[in-house]
Structure 1
Amino acid sequence: MAIGAVILAETICRFSSGLPPGGKGVRFLHRVHAGPSGEPMRIAIYDLDRTLTRRATFTPFLLYAAWHRAPWRLALSPVWVAAMAGYRMGLCSRTALKRFGMRLMLGDTAVAELERMGARFARRRVERGGMAPGALRSLETERKAGAKIVIATAAFAFYAKGFAKELGIEHLVGTDWDGQRIPGGNCYGRVKRERFEAWLADSAADDVGADIAFYSDSLADGPLFARATEPVLVVSSDREKRRARGRGWKGEIVNWAR
């Protein structure tokens, strides 16, 4: 059985590995304006999963959307679990995994319908206490400081928009989905920094001398941490804090689980 699961996972990931050329990803935004003359701009960037939210969002969204659109697809959940195992074993990229998950659980659902379901999903998570308490306090503090707040996430923009709306955040950088593929790949690691830089350029903001705080639970966000003037690692337990220190993190660490 174990060997069969590995073979299935490898097959799944290879099937999903194709990507179209080009693509810049999604940048859902409003124009950003600098503060009064002489005052440095402050930008506060937040990751979504396990930073603003208590838990990851992609698999819960897949199950939620499949239940509402095609409940029979929930029977395919074991295949999705096998695909995730394949990813953890290094058999495929995160981009390929996410593309496969979308096709497996949601088929050819139109992007507009995904956005509607994403809005309902986000509202449900927020209303049911799915946001990290410390994250909500941080958002309030940054707003009082006059910061421009941005969500920069590997999550698909079609449902990350819902979280942004529920939290009153106008600016979002996320992973694109065109109905079949992920143009430009997953908004993760180096790509996340590149897309933030593109967002900054598109927004016509003057970031010279700006204070840029970046909050994330993942050390894989190293490129954007390096771009920030205030990199902050978010954890949910003392064990995670010790692990981060053991892996060489020397910056600020906050626990937003309480």
Structure 2
Amino acid sequence: MRIAIYDLDNTLTRRATFTPFLAFAARRIAPWRLILLPIWVLMMLGYRAGLFDRTTLKTYGMRLMLGKASVEMLQRVGHEFASTRANNDFFMPAVLALLDEDRRNGAHVVIATAAFDFYALAFADLLLIETVIGSRWDGRVISGGNCYGETKLRRVQSWAKAEGLSLDSATIRFVSDSFADAPLLELADEPIFVSSSASKRARAKARGWRVISAD
């Protein structure tokens, strides 16, 4: 069996999605919260300075910009968000070509992403991908932690077990732009790294990963 797993942000899409989603959703749900965007920027700087981890950052961002919005409302806004982005050359052509190749080869295609599943599912629908493994928001916290790094690997393993699939016997392709995804890239039979950075491409090649340009 062939399994093809794709990251979302900066891999299938040309740009990150979380901050644009926060602004988009706040505008739809509670426009007054847009005045809080400078606080969100400061929070991101705090994360980069090591003051808190990604799970904490994203949790604070959701509470700051979207308050107590229901998951059902976030799903509706998520579909609207994905639709508006898809009409603006938002997907990465080189990665879409890999996706077409995987479909021709009969692969089971999966998106595994740190993005919240309530809008990652909407992007997956546009790309005709049925399986999404993403971060899960229950209205208060990120249930199960941010789907990133080692957590993403564990989530993929749990999904495969639940589906009765053996990752050991499958041929796995994993496509990502992030070194944080090294655990899953190292698991894959065909790791593919996406980047426009010459230094990152060199690092990825040194690890034996196939590299494609994000340009």
- Aligned mate of 1:249, from 191, 199, 207: 207
- Aligned mate of 1:57, from 17, 42, 46: 17
3-state SS of 1:169 partner: coil
User: Which residues of structure 2 form unaligned runs of 5+?
Assistant: none
3-state SS of 2:101 partner: helix
3-state SS of 1:253 partner: strand
Residues 54-97 of structure 1 deviation map (CA, whole Å, 9 limit, x = unaligned): 00000000000011111111100100000000000000010000
Residues 202-247 of structure 1 deviation map (CA, whole Å, 9 limit, x = unaligned): 11224442110000000111111121111111113445424545xx
Provide the aligned C-alpha RMSD in A.
1.3
Output the CA distance in 1 between the equivalents of 2:63 and 2:110: 29
3-state SS of 1:186 partner: coil
Which runs of structure 1 show a deviation greater than 4 angstroms over 4 or more consecutive aligned residues? none
2:3 and 2:170 in contact (8 A); partners too: yes
Deviates more, 1:76-85 or 1:120-129: 120-129
Deviates more, 1:66-75 or 1:97-106: 66-75
Letter in 1 for 2:212: V
- Aligned mate of 1:169, from 111, 126, 129: 129
3-state SS of 2:137 partner: coil
Output the CA distance in 2 between the equivalents of 1:186 and 1:43: 22
Percent sequence identity is 51
Q: TM-score, normalised by structure 2?
A: 0.96
Aligned position for 2:53 = 93
Output the CA distance in 1 between the equivalents of 2:45 and 2:213: 28
User: Which residues of structure 1 form unaligned runs of 5+?
Assistant: 1-40
Q: TM-score, normalised by structure 1?
A: 0.80
Letter in 1 for 2:90: G
Mark the structure with the bigger radius of gyration: 1
- Aligned mate of 2:161, from 201, 207, 217: 201
Letter in 2 for 1:114: L
Aligned position for 2:113 = 153
1:1-258 to 2 correspondences below 5 Å: 41-238=1-198, 240-242=200-202, 244-245=204-205, 248-257=206-215
